[in-house]
Amino acid sequence: MRQRVRLRSILWTSTNMLETPGFGFTILAFLLVLGPLVFVHEYGHYIVGRWCGVKADTFSIGFGRRILGWTDKRGTEWKIGWLPLGGYVQFAGDRDAVSQPDAEWQSLPAEERSHTFPAQPVWKRAAIVAAGPITNFLFAILILAGFAWVGGKVVTPPVAGAISAGSAAETAGLREGDRIVSIDGRAIETFSDIPMAVAHRPGEVMQLRVLRAGSERTVTLAPRLVTEKDPFGKEHQRAIIGLAPPPQKLEKVSILEAPAVGLHQTWQIVRQTGEVLAQFLTGRRSIKDMNGPVKIAEISGQAATLGLASLIFFIALISINLGFINLLPLPMLDGGHLAFYAYEAIRRRPAPPEAQEWAFRFGFAAIVTLMLVVTFNDLGSIGVWDGIARLIG
């Protein structure tokens, strides 16, 4: 999904055109982004599983045949698979990497059975499953808190420093010095909150509460779509209302305040991710806007080219998206497992095995379809389909 408004703002701070990173550099940057995030996610499952007394048979970064690995003193195989597009923890009693119960777990000796995943009470299983996405959020909060502590936080007031000619803001009658109080009921605290609220909503009519000369008024406008080039010459579209910011202000953040800043920024990104997902589900945004691993790899290379800070920020952004997506109530994802555990907690018994089996088949088909769609979009965004069309033509 296109949750890169903040990253693009970093990319656009440079006015000089940069050379597009090479294939090898891009792949390396992609692995530097994805590898730690997969480890963090799966380690969340693993460590909470250990705290709950569940034995982990396998901890894998990547899928497929093992290219590197070892077995620790607890009997857990730690390995790296040849396909670095995810990972998994397979607990004792699991049939496969998506925690489907093994039919043989109930026939194990009592002591061994007590350390299997299916034998745990529902609250423990839910805690183990939820730990992965939660760890992704905590990891992002830690990164963003670190940025706030080192560099401070932007506190530029949401005041129009200037109004762009012909913009939606000018048409709506906004003036220089107007303060944006809220957008569709969403409180606006700093100027950076404005692009976060409008960049993904081109053409949507929204209500702005504006403070002018001590009194508030409501202004109606619709953000307009603009096309801009990043420092690598790539064109990107986003919605704007045409407000230029006043001079930027930074505020120092203490080490005790930094986690709260990181939490607030993480919540903003989660909220925006949810809004974009709702647009996809309601048809207000085309599935052509969905991006996947290829696009993430491309942006990883660009972020790494701009420096370590940009790459680390991008890691935080992807960590938030990874946590959010995994909480969606789709079978095979962590959210799907949590949905079944909620059913079990309410009904006092698990969902029928047949229902679970069909749900997981549906989830597998849905995820495969989604991966095909986003890969098709990604290849189009880097010019593969245009190149093939030129060859055929």
Q: What is the DSSP letter of 65?
A: E
Task: Give every CB contact of residue 383 below 8 A, 6+ residues apart in sequence.
Answer: none
Cα dihedral 91, 30, 33, 386 sign: negative
Q: State the DSSP string of 201-249.
A: -TT--EEEEEEETTEEEEEEE--EEEEEE-TTS-EEEEEE--EEP-S--
Cβ 136 vs Cβ 40: under 8 Å:
yes
79 close to 60: Cβ distance less than 8 angstroms? yes
Please report, in angstroms and rounded to a whole number, the separation of the first and last CA atoms in the chain. 32
70 phi and psi, to 5 degrees? -160, 170
Contact 222, 205 (CB under 8 A): yes
* Active-site option among 19, 42, 104, 189: 42
Instruction: Measure the CA–CA gap between 333 and 326, rounded to whole angstroms.
Output: 5
Record the tokens describing residue 267, joined without a space: 């919540």
Active site residue 112: no
Residues labelled catalytic? 42
